[in-house]
Amino acid sequence: MKIFHLALDGAWQAFQASGTYTVSTIGMDLAEVGFIHCSQAEQVAGVHARYYRDVTEPIWLLTIDTDLLTSSWRLDDVPGQELPFPHVYGSLNLDAVVTAELFRLSASS
């Protein structure tokens, strides 16, 4: 399955340098939250609108192949949401990211 994560430019650059990613969401790390927030394709635009619309630095849309993850993941029901959200329960390995593109609303639709 392909899942998606919005990453700030600084975090994406650090990920490429280290090969490991532990940012859960804006301002929060895996150690604080317990998982990395991801989205299904239909959810990316809504996540951007709710949490990232005021961000001024570049945002990257990471496409993650769940078959390549070294950490476990699952789809979790979130109250008030129609579709479950994918969460990665550990660090994200760089080789699980099959594409990374600068985010534009059209990139997710």
Domain-by-domain residue ranges, the chain? 2-107
Q: Which fold has domain 2-107?
A: ADP-ribosylation fold (3.20.170)
Pairing of strands 23-25, 97-102: unpaired
CA nearest neighbour of 38 among 17, 61, 16: 61
Do residues 6 and 48 touch, judged by C-beta distance below 8 A? yes
Question: Angle CA(97)–CA(78)–CA(15) in degrees, nearest 5?
Answer: 25
For the entire predicted model, the pTM comes to: 0.93
pLDDT tens digit string along 55-105? 999 999 999 999 999 999 999 999 999 999 999 999 999 999 999 999 987
Q: Are 35 and 5 in contact (CB under 8 A)?
A: no
Q: Is residue 34 within 8 Å of residue 89, measured between CB atoms?
A: yes
Give 6-63 pLDDT, tens digit per residue.
Answer: 999 999 999 999 999 999 999 999 999 999 999 999 999 999 999 999 999 999 999 9
